[in-house]
Amino acid sequence: MARRLSRAALGADSVDVAPQLLNRLLVVGERVGRIVEVEAYGGEDDPASHAYRGATARNVSMFGKPGLLYVYFTYGMYWCANVVTGAKGDGQAVLVRALAPVAGIDAMRSARPAARHDRDLCSGPARLCTALGIDGRHDGVDLLDDASLVRLVDDGARAPAHVGVTERIGIRRAADRPWRWYVADDVNVSKLRRST
DNA sequence: CTTTGGATCGTCT
DNA sequence: GACGATCCAAAGG
């Protein structure tokens, strides 16, 4: 039984919301993935957040109401997707870092020919956007609106039995905050990579 | 399996 | 002008 998440629940702090998003579904048309890895980003109090220096043309959707999608372009090639949390104007968001493919897997394989196993389809923040077809066109859409192309859905799956916690990946500032959560033992979680 | 270097460009300094 | 909330191919074990 798919139902929307409550906007009020997403209005809490990103650090509290992030682990609650594990096992929820990200839906784009026929393509569906279960969230297995997330990271919390704060507002102007988090030096690692895009919102740290306030609202800009790039990050305005982060400052919108909770439940919006914030999509940003990075490394000249890739898109990454976030769920906006906190009160409107906070600039908080939760980065979706990995999904377990659930449906529309053939479409995901077509979108990601470089993936050699199905566990590589959505095992990274840019990978999952490519697999689901999420890009800048979807920045700012309401994930809680059934009419949106990209939606966040609660299918009633219970919280994961074991949740791992580590520092956030790929950032330089505020790198010590333990704000990454993942479903322990899920093969779709992105691999830890040495800092360079 | 692991490690390394390159790709590529919007955004902010 | 520098640097990313990254990924992938290639090369070596």
pLDDT tens sequence across A165-188: 999 999 999 999 999 999 999 999
Integer Cα distance of A94 and A184 in angstroms: 19
Integer Cα distance of A106 and A99 in angstroms: 15
What confidence category does residue A55 fall into, taking pLDDT thresholds of 50, 70 and 90? Answer: very high
User: For residue A30, which of A99, A98, A97, A108 has the smallest C-alpha distance?
Assistant: A108
User: Two tokens at A74?
Assistant: 């990075």
- Quick one: DSSP state of residue A142? B
User: Two tokens at A174?
Assistant: 């505020």
User: For residue A39, which of A161, A167, A158, A163 has the smallest C-alpha distance?
Assistant: A167
Integer Cα distance of A34 and A25 in angstroms: 5
- With distances taken from each CA to the C1' atom of nucleotide B8, the closest residue turns out to be A76
- Contact (CB, 8 A) for A66 and A15: no
- With distances taken from each CA to the C1' atom of nucleotide C4, the closest residue turns out to be A75
pTM given for the model: 0.96
Q: Which nucleotides of C are covered by protein (CB under 7 A)?
A: 4-9
Per-residue pLDDT, averaged over A18-45, amounts to 98
- In this model, does residue A2 exceed pLDDT 80? no
The CB-side HSE value for A103 (13 A sphere, CA atoms) comes to: 8
Q: Which nucleotides of B are covered by protein (CB under 7 A)?
A: 3-5, 7-13
Per-residue pLDDT, averaged over A92-112, amounts to 98
Per-residue pLDDT, averaged over A23-32, amounts to 98
Per-residue pLDDT, averaged over A51-66, amounts to 97
pLDDT score recorded for residue A1: 66
Per-residue model confidence as pLDDT tens digits over A122-138 = 999 999 999 999 999 99
- Answer yes or no: is A78 CB < 7 A from strand B: no
Mean pLDDT of chain A: 96
pLDDT score recorded for residue A137: 98
**Cβ neighbours of A169 (radius 10 Å):** 18
- In this model, does residue A195 exceed pLDDT 70? no
User: For residue A39, which of A158, A166, A138, A148 has the smallest C-alpha distance?
Assistant: A166
- Contact (CB, 8 A) for A100 and A108: no
Integer Cα distance of A124 and A134 in angstroms: 13
pLDDT score recorded for residue A194: 59
Integer Cα distance of A87 and A100 in angstroms: 29
Integer Cα distance of A37 and A163 in angstroms: 9
- With distances taken from each CA to the C1' atom of nucleotide C8, the closest residue turns out to be A114
- In this model, does residue A66 exceed pLDDT 70? yes
- Cβ within 8 Å of residue A77, ≥6 positions away: A126
pLDDT score recorded for residue A85: 98
